[in-house]
Structure formats: structure tokens, C-alpha cells
Structure 1
Amino acid sequence: MWFSKSPEQILKEFDVNPEIGLSEEEAKKRLEKYGENKLKSKPKKSTWKLFLEQLQDMLIYVLLASTLITLAIGEYVDAFIILFVVLLNAVIGVVQESKAEKAIEALQQMTTPKSLVRRNGEVKEINSEEIVPGDIVILDAGRYVPADIRLLESVNLQIEESALTGESVPSDKNAKDIHEDLKTPIGDRSNMAFMSTLVTYGRGEGVVVSTAMNTEMGKIAEALEEDVEDMTPLQKRLDELGRILGFLAIGICVVMFGIAFIQGRDLFDMFLTAISLAVAAIPEGLAAIVAIVLAMGVTKMSKKHAIIRKLPAVETLGSVNIICSDKTGTLTQNKMTVVKHYVYGKMKDLPTEVSGLEADQEEKELIKTLILCSDATYEENGQSTGDPTEIALIALGAKYNMNKNDLNAKYKRVAEKPFDSDRKLMSTLNKEENGYRVHTKGAIDNILKIATKALVDGKVVPLTEELKREYLKVSEEMSDNALRVLGAAYKDVDHKIEPEQMEKNLIVLGLVGMIDPPRLEVKDSILEAKRAGITPVMITGDHKNTAFAIAKELNIAESIEQSIVGAEIDKMSEEEFANKINKYRVFARVSPEHKVKIVKAFKSHGNIVSMTGDGVNDAPSLKNADIGVAMGITGTDVSKGASDMILTDDNFSTIVTAVEEGRNIYNNIKKAVIFLLSCNLGEVISIFLSVLFAWPVPLIPTQILWINLITDSLPALALGMDPGDPDVMKHKPRDPKESFFAHGAGFRAVLGGVLIGIFTLLAFYFGLSEFGYRLGSGNIPQRVLRYARTMAFVVLAASQLFYSLSMRNEKKSIFQIGIFSNSYLIGAILLGIFLQAIVISLPFLANAFGVQMLSLRDWSIVIGFALIPLLVNEIIKIFTRIKDTK
């Protein structure tokens, strides 16, 4: 048992030096030996199982039963066609589901947690799945533990282990403990860190002893498997709509069958027609198409640096009208650079690109404290790790030839008091030649509250009110120039002290000013967001003046009155704050707790709010927001786990891009659904009216099923993959309570269905009239019916295919959006027309489907009929555009 052994024993067993870690070559060997560090997931459905699931529908059962009956009475061709269409439809369903599943799997891989490991003597960040036994892992607050780890070092380390123990209070960890009792419960193993638990405080290092299914979590993996919500709210609504339409279609078919019985028609033929019409009328592919469009859209978004963790977020994105964004790294470049440093009476400006600088003793002490009181690593090749602010401090030391590794080796850290957002301070205790020294860095105003002395001209003097005013004046001047200010202090002690004693009676050293310039592309994104009816809001821990300077440059705020600090928020009641929230655009000096208040205040006015976050304490605000956005680079595992979306580039512009994509995805789903409903309604109208008025049925069952196959799959999917509307961000956000059939969508669905149905009947009527017959004529010869049905068969399919072009935009004409701008749709239309031509041209298929070859004149007539629904809709769009311009 690892918890009963000493660190030395463990390291010997795994043959690893904790100062160096494994080599990359050794890590690869162990990865091959032990496999990837991930728990076994639920077994995938086999292709055969997916196929069978496509057939699990009552109407499909009836069709299959009809096939058997048709075989029994000797109608082999009809039986074969019905069976072929059913099976082909099932195959298409399997392909669609597989694509959606693969897209979701790809997204899950993108959200794999990262871990800090030491390999070849360097600390690097890798995917947790690449962790192997023997790896030296560095743990810090906000990270999930990637595997079972025997701790080698711990500093105030606390880990929340409720996933394993059920205990919600974090457990204190101590690497020095050894538990000789082999029956020590998991919750009492204080020298161990377990897979999937969460580091909430402090830091630590350890050696990986178990990975994947060999971990404690792996042993109970089946019990911990979560049921994933498969359907989004939109899918549920559409599924419900499908059921309602299904019942209506079945009702119509029952009525139609009853009328046919009264009319004395052939009941078996009418039974097959009714069932085929029910299958065609029910949009059973709605949920599948929505799932595929969502999955493909989300995959497209991931290529633009926005990973959607929860599919419902795609729907919500289109309604977002408030974007609350962190400043550092999101609105700015996250490349902090120290440009000024100050010790009492001496301000020094630093060029951004310079090295080999000289410093006096006071400046050296300032820089030494800032470097030793940090956990980041700095590499000139850009492979630095840690907080950008700390990286900037270590880079400052490099300019003065003060190397962090050298300083760490000379002044070994023996204790620390980690940074937290309430104190806004961090302190370390480091060994000196003749004792110990406390190094503290953080907010200068907080340092001045706990300091009693200052280093002035090389001498330690009492910290007078005059000195405090001077430090605060310099700090304010730096802040006014949009610099982030960080203070430093120290004190010498002759013995090792507890963390609680560190931040008392300090000696002020000075302060540094650093800048993180705005991202170049963000200004344009903010203007685009504003045009789209979205209000950008900045949230930061920086000083008010610093925050406002950046906000003004980015056009987020116009006056300092639009800024408020956390202390002012605390003085207000929730009701008062909510009443005033809309006047503010900048929230400075705020804590993660304030973020929750901000979200709730904006939401109280009915706003749909997006909130960014990266820290452990940001999780509540991310969950409270309608769209929680985590940072992919600087974000902790906790913030990512609480989010709906992850930005892989930590860029504000990506949020705006995601909103645009979200709007387009929703619109594309809407297009596909309205198209499907129009097609299905057209089929119902053409058949039902013919039965109601005792006319010959214009289509036989196999023709109905075939048309349903070629129009309900590829064209609908192609509409779902429509290129984004470039004007989508010129409209206000969508009201989340808005009906799916708002803004004339319901009218377009009914209009399309009525036009398609009527012109199918007109094509059938034209076919009869060519031979001198009318719809009410009795004893129509079979050859005449065959010709008329061929005309109706081609018109019904072609009109649906052409009508899909008009569905691409509710107002713009097909010429404005570009007829060929959606190559998938053009391909689906051409393929559909080609398949129709094949069916009526090849003799064996023509006989099977009860159709015949058409002449060029006939083709020109059916194409003319098929184009009319498209043209009518385009004419209506012209009047709509004229109305909008008035």
C-alpha cells in the first residue's frame, strides 16, 4: 500500500528522481506498458444495434407487416421497394447518428484536463491522459488530481475528496505522514491524492502510483458513471412537435382510410397508402437532423477556438445580450510586461526589450522578493508556465541577470501563505544565511495596511503617513496610465514561523507597474457586439482607473461614472444594486463573490448573461450565468468543469464569434425544420384532397416512401450546414421565449406545404387532361394513370428540392445570398433530380415504381410546375423587403 511507505521507497520502486522526473523516452515506454490514463467509458453501440434502433418505430413495424402481406398476395415488386426504402432509411439514420457521435467524441477530447508534470528536469503541461506511473506531478489550487499520487511535498495543501469519500469538507494533506495501518480508510490517507479529486488550497508535488482503472476512482468507475443528457431543450421541443404532428398525420390517415372505405376503394391499396403517407408525414428525422446540425456546428465552432461543453449552450448563445468579460487575457494580450519599478524616491522606466541592466541594492531587494514570492517559470522561448503577472516578474529579474532557479537554489523556500482573492497577497518564507526572510507581494494598499516600516535610501525607517501617501500617489499615477501595480515587502526573522505570522510588521520595498495591452482585434469585436444588441461589460480585479483606461480605449465605457468598485457594491443592498446595474460598464477591484452578484443583478432585468472566469472561485458565477465561459489557457479545471463553453485562446473576440455561430446554427436548424414540415404538409395535402374529393390517388405507396427518402435527408441536412448569414449580427438577440414559428416561419411552412401539394395535384390533373380525362372521371386506363402519376411524382419531389433554396433566408432572395453559395444544397438538389430521372428512365425501376419515361416537353412542364412554389416565396420576400424599408 503506497500510503504505508516512505517517499524514498516509492521513488525507488518507480525509479524516478523527483528533481528531474521521467525522461520523455521513458514516459513513452510506460504509456505503452500501462495505457492511457483514462477511465473506461460506456461501451459504444455497435453498428448493428444502431441499425436495429432505426427500425424501432410503430409505423415501421406496420410497413414491415405490410411487406409480408404484399409478399403473401404475390406483389413482389411492391414488397421489395417498401423493404428497400425502409432499410435504406435505416442505413441513412445509422450514418447520421455515427457522425453526430464522432463529433461529440472529438469535442470531449478537446476538453481533456491538463496536468503539470516534471520531465527532463522541466515543468511542462500535458494532457492528463498522458500521465504514467512514476510521473512527478505538481498540484496547485483549482486543478483536478489526474491520477492516484503519493505526495512528496505539501504546503497548506487541501483537497476536496467528496467524489470518493462523500465528505464535502476539504481534507488536509501532509506528505510527511506515513500510515502503517493497511486498513486506513481513503478519507484518512493524508499523504495521498486521488484521481478526480480537487485541489482547493495550497500546493504540492507527488509521484504517480496508479493510473486509469487501477486508481481508487477506477475501482468504482461504474458507480460513478453519469447519465449524459442526450437531448437539448430545442430537441425536446421539436421531438414533442414531431409527436403532435405524428398524431395529426395518423388521424388524417384514419379519416382518409374511412372515407376510402365509404367510397368503396381497394382497401389494401388504401391501407398501404395511408401507412406510407403517415411515415412520410411524420418528421421522424427531426431530432436526428437537429443533433447532427448541432454537433457539426459545434465542431465548426471548436475550430474557431470555442469549445461547447453543453449542447443547450448553442441555443442560448443566440439570445445573449450581456457579455461580462474578465479584462486580463480576454480583452488584453495576457502578456504582462513590467515597464516601471519604484523604490522610495526613485522611479525607473524600462524598455520592453532590454537585458543586462544594472540595479542598486534597494532595487535588487525589490526584484529578489518579487521573484522568490512566485510560482511561475520563465523561458525566453515562450514555454513559460504560471500566472502571467508572475511570469512578468521573473522576466524582470532576467533583465537584471537575476535568475529564478539560481535564487530558488540559494534561498530555499520552507513555507508559504498562498495568494487568495480576499487578501490579494502572497507570502513565502525562504532560508537565508543567518535566518529566514518573509517575502510578500500583492496589492500595495493591502501591503501598506500590514506594514510598519519602509526601506528608504538603504535604511529601514518607520512607515509614516507621509510615506504611505507617497507610495499611494505613485501607485495611482501608474494606474492612471493603465498600469497594473504590484507592491512588495519583506521582514527578517531568526526562526521558522507559521504562515499566519508572516504578513505582520512588514517592511515596504517598493512597487512595480506592468501593462497588458488590449488585444488588437477586440475593439472591432466590441463594436460588432454592440451592433448586434449586445452590451459588453468589463470585470477585473485591477484598480478603477486602470480598468477604465482600458475600457475607454476599447469603447466599453465612455466616462468614469460607468465604473464601480467591489467596496461600493458591498455597501448596496441586492435590490439597490440590481436597480443601478444597467448604468455600469466597468466593475473594478471585484472578487469572485461579486461576480455572482453582478450576474444576478443583470439577470433580474431579464437579460441573458454570458460570464467569463478562470479561477476556482469563479465556478459559482459561471454556473449562475446563462452561458458560463471558461478560459482554456489560464482557466482551472474547476472553472472549465462549471462552464458551458471554453475559449481555447482566452480571447473576447472568440465569445462574439461564438455568439454569431450560435445564431447561425439556430437559424440553420430552423430552416431545416420549416423545410421538412413544408415537404410533409405538401405530401399530406396532395393525397388527402384526392381521397376527400373521390379523385384517383396521385401517388402510390412506394412513390410516397421514395420521395420522403430523397427529400427528408440530404436537403434538410444541407440546409443545416448553410453558410452563416453575414448580417446575422445586425439583428437584436433572439428572445429565448420566442416561438419556433415566430417571424413568419409558421406561415412559410404552411404556404410551402399548400403550394407543393396543390401543384402536385395540378401536375396530376395535367397528366390526365393530356388524354382527355378529368380528376372525377371514372375507369381511367392504367397507362393514363401511370403517366399522370409520373408527372405528380416528379413535381412533388422537384418542388420540394427547389423550395429548399428559398428556405435559406426569410427575407433575402436566392440571388442576394448566392444560388451556389451552399454547395451541399446544390449537390443534394442535383442528386435528387438525378435519382428521379433514373427511376423514371430505367425500365426495371420505372416498372417497379409504376412510372414511365417523360419527354423533353414533359420535363419542361414538370420543372415549370416545381419552380412555382419557389417563385411565389421569392415574390413574397420582395414585398417583405419593401415593407421593411418603409
Structure 2
Amino acid sequence: MIWFSSDAERALKELDVDRTHGLSAEQANSRLEQYGENKLKGKPKKNVLVLFFAQLKDMLIYVLLGAAVITLLIGEYTDSIIILLVVILNAVIGVFQEYKAEKAIEALQKMTTPKALVRRDGEVIEIDSKMIVPGDIVVLDAGRYIPADLRLIESVNLQIEESALTGESVPSEKNAARVFEDPKTPLGDLANMAFMSTLVTYGRAEGVVVGTGMNTEIGKIAKGLEEHQTDMTPLQKRLAELGKVLGYIAIAICALIFIVALIQKRDLFEMFLTAISLAVAAIPEGLPAIVAIVLALGVTRMSRINAIVKRLPAVETLGSVNIICSDKTGTLTQNKMTVLHLYTQRNFLDVPSEGTATATEGTQKKLIQTLVLCTDATLVDGESTGDPTEIALLELGEKYHSSKKTLEDGHERVAEKPFDSDRKLMSTLNKEGSHYRLHTKGAFDSILKIATHALVEGKKIPLTDEIKADYLGAAKEMSDQALRVLGAAYKDTDEIIDPDDMEKDLIVLGLVGMIDPPRLEVKDAIHEAKRAGIRPVMITGDHQHTAAAIAMELGMATSLEQTISGSEIDALPDEELSAKIDQYRVFSRVSPEHKVKIVKAFQSHGNIVSMTGDGVNDAPSLKNADIGVAMGITGTDVSKGASDMILTDDNFTTIVSAIEEGRNIYNNIKKAVVFLLSCNLGEIVAILASVLFYWPVPLLPTQILWINLITDTFPAIALGVDPGDKDVMKRPPRNPKESFFAGGAATRAIIGGLLIGILTLTAFYFGLSEHGYQLGSKLIPQDVLTYAETMAFVVLAVSQLFYALSMRSATHTIFRVGLFSNKYLIGAILLGIILQFIVISVPFLASAFHVQMLSLRDWMIVIGFGLVPLVVNEIIKGGFRMRSREE
């Protein structure tokens, strides 16, 4: 059926759905089974086998496999089996890492699935857009993405931005009443249709779903295309580059080892295997995978504190944020509006907190009537939907016996001009007997701009400067009490007015003052942010005095001089605003365009800016900010789509908590990387020194590969999910241009690597000296060499495992951090030691790895050696702390 060629009623009949009732739950479930979920097909998932073989696509792995074949051919069956097992285990762990990261990212994508309003069983409910089926009645308003292809059945001033389909950036005007006979009518001209993935920018509408998933216009385009391409984060890219550089260095060292061995006339095949094994162990090819896992798990953890991070790179940026630009309503305040005062010309009326009252004066009655009729919210039997400000106005109406339901009988809405954040106004045209009355509400200064008269004691009089001053004085008085001020005006007309001509020549009725109390926990969060070197800034559409009063109560500002209004911003050239931006903590009466200016002004000083937003027009400022934060409760689909992070509780405190979590995630990644580099360097030091000084090599190729297996996976991941530093918010934000190895990280890696390498050689020397041999001795018996190699083998493993404990903090000792506070790390260390014990204790494994069982005395010695890097690093930390205290 060609939906745009038939009228709305025929479309509803064809889809077997009642417009006022919608589909029943049974019908919806049945159609979901018939048509499938409403989503585009993504790229096919890689199966486990493909992921497994992808792990083997590495030149060094190919060389190792070749070495395994050669050892098999020359009869060294045990070595070839061990090499193959290590390669397979390494690939299995790699598959596990990729799978874990992919699952965590999928879980996050599910959390950010767009929602849609549908009418089912006679009720308007919000569901995941993927659950929509053909025949669903979808309710649209400004800021929502169209969840499926719709035949519009009702539209009011509807405009939809369809550039995703048509390439036309100007929003298309829609009209549900239109019918197009020509079946070849271009997509961009179909005014009675709305298409999946396009965006409502203005007005409201209802439509019936005629196509879902791949059966939509956007689905036709998507066929054969991948839904998304997974990109590495900047940090992953940097570490991948680092891995390449370290790889070249490792290969160069291995080539040097091989050349020296050639000159020294050592067993070339044995040295070839040693060099390749060392290269495999030394090159941190798992860095990007570990970073992906740590980021994904960290982001999943953040979702539990009501912060859904949509893009992994945002986690890296979070740790550098030093300016939080926050909206006031709902984020800093409770978003529970209550009207406290009404004001008509020279007449204040206190609204009772409980019970009902009667408005005795005619102007007050008209003011309440306008405020109630000019809303899109609903309030029935105490249950409300819609904007909290409008709900507060409906509650006001209930208190004065003027419920919306009562007023709408005989005052039906016939036209409207929806709220717009630039105009800061909303208008509706309602029947008033035989004629019509226009009701307008909004920011009081915007009301004054379009009004020419005022209603005073029931009489329409010209709006003089004196009357304006009186109203403005009342508004200021309310604002100084931290009340939000809203004005109302009206005019009567004999005919239906075009929306473009509505807001002209109005009559001022008065204003109301409502309170939205600050969130109790926000004051502490602001104090914590300041202590962390982060500057909280309020950006709001509210009156300057209201905003300043709330900001001073919360500790964001200290005086009215720290506030600036939107009109004052307009009066400043961009260069001057940038020069003065650091003086301000409160930006009031701002429009979305002002938000972009403010973000750019802060960024011009090198600041990393987080910006909150919830409206359609907030998208530019969210995109311009370093971290765009959308509101999960009040936010539109547009703001959520443009953001990097969504707050599911719309709370400022959550932003601060997310920044703390972001800092800890970055620090954890740093710990894991420094640990891996220390371990790799230790192995290189031990092998390179023994070759250069013509000593026996303390480790066999199979032993190197085994140690790489038990230390480069679970301990590194356990460090990546460390609970974090409790003092992380007592330090200033990280400079985004700062080197990954700043703050002594490179020094720690080098010191750790040298200690691990030297102690491995020391253990090897100890093993030889126990039987009367030295490192330079010739013709060392095989049993003595096996004992010394076992000592070195165990010390290398346990020193790396114990050293992971010291990596948990660069400044605090393990006792200050809490020895058992990271149970995953303790588990990884115990697992590594147990595996090492099994290898040297089980006879066939000991034979395969050319090691032997150690006595209790030997175990005490290797544990003692293994603890040295940990102890030395802890002593260095203590020295630095003592020095910092003295300074």
C-alpha cells in the first residue's frame, strides 16, 4: 500500500488499529513476533573461531609456530607441544578479552537505546524504540527522533529535520491532512509522512507506524552497509603506537642477542628460540585489548552511578575536565516546582501550601486560567506527566478550583505556538464563547517585549513605563528570594490567528513566583569539585537574581558581580567575553547560542569544559563542549544524541562522581601499562645481560612464554579494575597534553624492570653458587643448571606478581591503600603462584619445562627475592612522601 496516497483514516483501518486506544499488548506482542524488532541490521558478529584466528595474525606468532614445527621435526616433542599450547592459550585469552570488552560495550549501547511514546491499551507509555511494531500510534514532540516510518494522523506546527534522508538541512513542514496522489512524489515532499531516524524540531504530532527496521526508508539505505565502525580511543591509538615502537626495540634487542650468540658460537637454534620468545614476551601486543577491557568495565561501573558514557574516548577526557557548566533546574535543584506567589498590578497573593483557596480578584482568575490552559502537561488524580514547571501551574489551578480538565470544557484549544528556548514563550489559542482568546506564558522580560497593555483591576490600560517598573520590581523581589518568575498575558480575537502573528499586542495579566529548592547533596558535590580543581558554573534561562541567589546558596558564586545575563553577553565582542569569562560563575537568561559562546570562551583559555543540556537547541553546545552531558529524565532525544554522557538522574552530583570515576579509570589503565612494561623490561634485562656477558641464559624459551602468559593477563586486568585512589579528587585535573608517562611513571617502569631483571639473575647466580659454580663457569652439570634455572624461573614470576601490588598507587603504600582492597589482584597473584608451583611440582610438567621441585628453604629464598622490587618501590614512595611533607 502507498501510505502517502491514502488518508489517515484509511491507513488506520488498513493497519487494524483504533486511534484513541492504540494496539493492545497482545496485538503488539503478536506483531513483534511477525515483524521482528524495530532496528537496523548491524555488521555481522564475528564468531569465536574467527576471533581466535585473528589472535594468530602476528608475524612473531608465525615465527613461533614455525619454531614449533622445526622442534617437532628434530625430535624436541616436548618443546614443540609447550610452544603450541602457549600460543593457543594466548589466543584463547585474547578471545576472552575481546569478547568481554565487546559484551560490555553492547550492554552500554542497550542502555542508550532511544525511547518512544506510544499509545497502547488507551494509555500513552514510553517504550524502547526497538519494541515498536506496525500499527503502533506514536506521539511526537520537539526533540524526539522518529522511531519508525509513520503516516501522520495529526500534526500541529510540525517541522522535521530530514537531512539524514534528503540531504536538506532546512526542516520540512508537515501536514497530516495532505494526500499525495502521484506515487512518484519525491521523499522530501511527503508532508504527511515522517521517517525513521529523522528529528522533530518543532511542534507536535501523532502518527501510525507503517514500517519498522529494515522496511523503512532509512533501512533501504542501510542494506549492505555496516551500522557502525568500532574505532579505537585516542589512548588505545597512542598505546598501539607505543606497542609498535617497543616492538621495534624488542626485535632490535633480539637481533642483537642472536648476533652476539653467533659471535660467541652458542647453540644457534636455542638462541633463535630464546630471541623469538623474548620478543613475544617483550612486545605488549595486548595493551590496546587491556585498555578496551578496562574502559568498558569502568564505563559499565559508571552506569551504576547513573552516568551512561556513550563514547569510550569521553572517559579519557573526563579526567581532564576543569569547568562544569551546569543547568540549574533539575540538575542543581530538585525539579519539584511549587508556586508560592501570584502578582497582579500592586496585588501580591500568597498561595497556600496545602488545601484550596479562592481568587477574589478578576485579574487573578484570568491569570490562573491563562497559566493552566497554556500548558501541555497533564494532572489527573494526582498523577502527572510533562514539564515540572507546567505541572506546578496545573497544581496551582487545582488549588483555586480551576483544574485543566474543567477549564478545557468550553475552552478547547484550536491553535498553538509551542515553547521555544529562543523566544522563551509558549502560546495557545482557545475558544472563549463565540470568539477566541490567546494565552501566552513565559519569561517575564519576553512578555514585556510583546505586550502593549496591562489588565489592572479588570480594566485594559496602556502599558506605561511606570507599570513596567512596578512589575519588574515585583519580579526582582521574587528573584531575590530564589524564586523562578513566570509571566502571563492574553488577548481576545474574533478569528483564528496564524501562529506567526500570535505574540503581538498582548495584555499583561501578571506573574507568578515558584520555587525549585536546591538538591540537598549538591552543595557537598560543589565543594568537592572545587577541591579537585574544577570550577562549577551555572548556566540558566532564569532571571539573574534567581540564579545568583541559588548559586550563592550552593557556594558556586559569592556575589551578584559574578553573574552575567544573555543580553550583556550579546553586548560583548567575542574577544572581550573570552578575556572576562573567568570573572563569571553564573550565566542567566541565556539562549542556546549563548551556551556555545560560553563554551568557546572557556576553551580559549585551554580549559576542558563539560556542558549539560536537555533541549533541542542544546545540541550545538553539547557538541562544542569537550564533554556533552544530556539529561536522562528531561532530556530530548536530540540532546542525548549529541552528548557524550547521559545522566539518568539529572543530578549535578553524578557529574562530579563521573569525573572521579573517569580519573580513576585513566589511572588504572596507567597502572596496568606501567606494570606490563616493567615485567617486559625485567625479562629483557635478564636475557640481554646474560648473553652480553657470556653467561648461561637463565631462562628457556618455553619458560619465558609461560611467564608471559601468567603475568601479562589477569594481574594487568585486575590492576585495571582497581577500586581507585580515595584522594584522586584532592588533586587538580590532568592536563590532556600531558605525556602518558608523566608523574614518574617511566621512572617506575624502569626501576621495576631493572630490579626484576637483576633479581632474576641474582637467583640464577644463587642457584649456581649453591653447588660451587659461578656465572662464568664452564661445563656446568645439567642438574645444577636446571636447579639455577628453576630459581630464576620462579623468582621472575613471583617478583612480577608481587610488584603488581606496588603498582596500585604511585604515592601511597600498599597498607595505606589496603592490602586486600583489590580482591581480583590478590586472586590473580595467588593464581599465578599456584600455577607456578604446579609447573615445578608435577613431574611431567617439570620435565617439560626443564625445572625441578624446590625445597621449603628454596621457596622461602625465592619468595624473599620476589618481594625485593615491591619493598624497594614502597621505600621509594615513603621517601617521596617524607620529602613532600618537609617541603
Q: Same fold (TM over 0.5)?
A: yes
3-state SS of paired residue (1:390): helix
Q: Which amino acid aligns with 1:347?
A: F
Aligned counterpart, 2:757: 757
Return the letter of the residue paired with 1:400.
Answer: Y
Q: Which moved more, 1:330-339 or 1:449-458?
A: 449-458
- Residue 523, structure 1, aligned to residue 539, structure 2: no
| Residue in 2 that maps onto 1:703 | 703
- CA distance in structure 2 between the aligned counterparts of 1:705 and 1:496, rounded to whole angstroms: 83
* Structure 1 pair 231–190 and aligned structure 2 pair: CA distance change class (3 A): same
- Which moves more between the two structures, 125-134 or 749-758? 125-134
- The Cα of 1:455 is off from its aligned counterpart by 2.6
Q: Cα offset for 1:178?
A: 0.1
Q: Partner residue of 1:117? A: 118
| Structure 1: runs of 5 or more not aligned | none
CA contact (8 A) 2:56 2:62 kept: yes
CA distance 1:98–1:849, shift in 2 (3 Å): same
Q: Could you report, residue by residue, the CA deviation over 1:176-219 in whole angstroms, capped at 9, with x for unpaired residues?
A: 10001111111111100000001112221111111111111111
Question: Which residue is equivalent to 1:684?
Answer: 684
Alignment of 1:464-543 (within 5 A): 464-543=464-543
* Superposition pairs of residues 610-629 of structure 1, within 5 angstroms: 610-629=610-629
- Choose 229-238 or 853-862, whichever is displaced more: 229-238
Q: 2:724 matched to which residue of 1?
A: 724
**In the alignment, what sits opposite 1:100?**
101
Counterparts of 1:510 and 1:501, CA distance in 2: 22
In 1, Cα distance between the equivalents of 2:713 and 2:154? 59
SS in 2 for 1:528: helix
Distance across 1 between alignment mates of 2:481 and 2:645: 33
Question: Do the aligned residues in 1 keep the contact of 2:479 with 2:485 (CA within 8 Å)?
Answer: yes
Q: Is the counterpart of residue 61 in structure 1 residue 46 in structure 2?
A: no
In structure 1, C-alpha distance between the alignment counterparts of 2:251 and 2:352, rounded to whole Å: 78
In structure 2, C-alpha distance between the alignment counterparts of 1:298 and 1:210, rounded to whole Å: 34
Cα contact 1:124–1:385 (8 A) shared by 2: no
Residues 199-249 of structure 1 deviation map (CA, whole Å, 9 limit, x = unaligned): 112221111111111111111113664543421111111110100000100
CA contact under 8 A between 2:767 and 2:789: conserved in structure 1?
A: yes
Q: Quick one: distance in 2 between partners of 1:367 and 1:238?
A: 63
Point out where structure 2 has 5 or more consecutive residues left out of the alignment: none
How much does 1:115 deviate? Answer: 1.6
Letter in 1 for 2:573: S
Q: Secondary structure at the match of 1:500?
A: helix
Q: Specify the alignment match of 1:607 in structure 2.
A: 607
Alignment of 1:182-201 (within 5 A): 182-201=183-202
Q: Secondary structure at the match of 2:487?
A: strand
User: What is aligned with 1:389?
Assistant: 389
Q: Is the 8 A contact 2:42 2:227 kept in 1?
A: no
1:639-662 Cα shifts (integer Å, max 9, x gaps): 111111111111111110011000
| Cα separation, 2, equivalents of 1:378 and 1:32 | 35
**Equivalent-residue separation in structure 2 for 1:583 and 1:537 (angstroms):** 11
2:78 alignment counterpart: 77
Provide the C-alpha distance between the structure 1 equivalents of 2:462 and 2:103, rounded to a whole number of angstroms. Answer: 67
Q: Distance in 1 between matches of 2:237 and 2:385?
A: 44
Do the aligned partners of residues 808 and 283 (structure 1) sit closer, same or farther apart at CA in structure 2, a change above 3 Å counting?
same
Counterpart position of 1:879: 879
Q: Are residues 195 and 8 of structure 1, via their aligned partners in 2, closer, same or farther at CA, if it must alter by over 3 Å?
A: same
- Which moved further from structure 2: 789-798 or 226-235? 226-235
Greater shift after overlay, 404-413 or 655-664?
Answer: 404-413
Q: Are the structure 2 counterparts of residues 380 and 631 from structure 1 closer, same or farther at C-alpha, using a change threshold of 3 Å?
A: farther
1:666 aligns with 2:673: no
Moved more, 138-147 or 758-767: 138-147
Cα RMSD for the two superposed structures: 1.5
User: Residue 342 of structure 1: CA displacement?
Assistant: 2.2
Taking only the aligned residue pairs, the percentage that are identical comes to 72
CA distance 1:881–1:204, change in 2 (3 Å)? same
In 2, the alpha carbon distance for the partners of 1:121 and 1:743 equals 62
- Are the aligned partners of 1:488 and 1:510 in contact in 2 as well (CA < 8 Å)? yes
Find the counterpart in structure 1 of residue 447 from structure 2.
447
- Alpha-carbon shift at residue 598 of structure 1 (Å): 0.6
TM-fit CA distance, 1:380: 5.6
- The one-letter amino acid of 2:490's match is Y
Report the CA distance between 1:449 and its aligned residue. 2.6
Change (3 A) 1:469 1:283: same
Check whether the contact 2:146–2:198 (CA below 8 A) recurs between aligned residues: yes
State the alpha-carbon separation in 1 of the partners of residues 831 and 290 from structure 2. 19
How many Å separate the matches in 1 of 2:397 and 2:17?
31
Instruction: Answer yes or no: is 1:838 the counterpart of 2:838.
Output: yes
Corresponding residue for residue 90 of structure 2: 89
- Indicate how the Cα distance of structure 1 residues 217 and 472 shifts in structure 2: closer, same or farther if over 3 A, else same: same
Label 1:645 to 1:379 Cα distance change in 2 as closer, same or farther (>3 A). Answer: farther
Contact 1:557 1:586 in 2 (8 A): yes
- 2:274·2:701 contact (CA, 8 Å) conserved in 1? yes
Distance 2:772 2:497 in 1: 108
Measure the CA separation in 1 of the matches of 2:122 and 2:409.
Answer: 14
Q: Encode CA deviations 1:453-502: one digit per residue, 9 max, x unaligned.
A: 33333333333333322222211111111111111111121111211221
Q: Specify whether residues 835 and 629 from structure 1 end up closer, same or farther in structure 2 by C-alpha distance, changes over 3 A only.
A: same
Aligned residue identity for 1:851:
V
Distance 1:328 1:380, change over 3 A: farther
Q: Measure the CA separation in 2 of the matches of 1:471 and 1:133.
A: 53
- Spell out, residue by residue over 1:568-608, the C-alpha distance to the aligned partner (whole angstroms, 9 max, x if none): 11111111111111010000011110111111111111111
Equivalent position amino acid for 1:289 in 2: I
- Partner amino acid, structure 2, of 1:135: D
Q: Who is 1:829 aligned against?
A: 829
| Corresponding residue of 1:307 | 308
What does 1:1-12 correspond to in 2, within 5 Å? 1-12=2-13
Cα deviation, residue 450, structure 1: 2.0
Q: Which residue matches 1:420? A: 420
For the residues of structure 2 that align with 1:625 and 1:354, how far apart are their CA atoms? 46
TM superposition shift of 1:35: 2.2
| Amino acid across the alignment from 1:369 | T
Q: Is the 8 A contact 1:281 1:680 kept in 2?
A: yes
| 1:178 aligned onto 2:150 | no
Residue 322, structure 1, aligned to residue 339, structure 2: no
Indicate the residue corresponding to 1:650 in structure 2: 650
C-alpha spacing 1:461/1:748, structure 2 compared with 1 (3 Å): same
Greater displacement, 75-84 / 35-44: 35-44
Q: Which whole-Å deviations, capped at 9, do the CAs of 1:800-825 have from their partners, x for residues lacking one?
A: 00000000001111111111010000
- 1:257 is aligned to 258
* Alpha-carbon distance, 1:359 to partner: 5.8
Given that residues 305 and 648 in structure 1 are in contact (C-alpha distance below 8 angstroms), is that contact kept between their aligned partners in structure 2?
Answer: yes
- Which sits farther off after the overlay, 337-346 or 43-52? 337-346
Letter of the 1:202 partner, please give it: G
2:341 match: secondary structure: strand
- Report the alpha carbon displacement of residue 146 of structure 1 after superposing the two structures with TM: 0.7
Q: 1:183 corresponds to which letter in structure 2?
A: K
Partner of 2:295 in structure 1? 294
How many angstroms does 1:835 deviate by?
0.3
Quickly say closer, same or farther: Cα 1:71–1:379, change in 2 above 3 A: farther
Between stretches 760-769 and 633-642, larger displacement belongs to: 633-642
3-state DSSP class of the match of 1:378? strand
Q: Deviations over 1:651-710 (max 9, x none)?
A: 111110011000000000000000000000000110111111111110101100000000
Once structures 1 and 2 are overlaid, which stretch shifts more, 650-659 or 496-505? 496-505
Residue equivalent to 2:139: 138
8 A contact 2:41–2:227 mirrored in 1: no
* 2:369 corresponds to 1:368: yes
Aligned AA (1:348)? L
List aligned pairs for 1:148-163, cutoff 5 A. Answer: 148-163=149-164
Partner Cα separation in structure 2 for residue 256 and residue 21 of structure 1 = 76
Counterpart AA for 2:285: E
Do the aligned partners of 2:43 and 2:228 also contact (CA within 8 Å) in 1? no
Partner AA of 1:92 in structure 2: I
Structure 1 equivalent of residue 351 of structure 2: 350
2:658 and 2:126 map into 1 onto residues whose CA distance is 27
- Three-state SS of the structure 2 residue aligned to 1:220 is helix
User: Which digits, 9 at most, give the CA deviation of each residue in 1:18-41, with x for residues without a partner?
Assistant: 233233343333323322211111
Note if contact 2:287-2:673 (Cα within 8 Å) is conserved in structure 1: yes
Q: Write the distance in 2 (CA, Å) between the matches of 1:330 and 1:181.
A: 50
- Superposed CA deviations along residues 741-760 of structure 1, whole A, max 9, x for unmatched, are 11111000000000000000
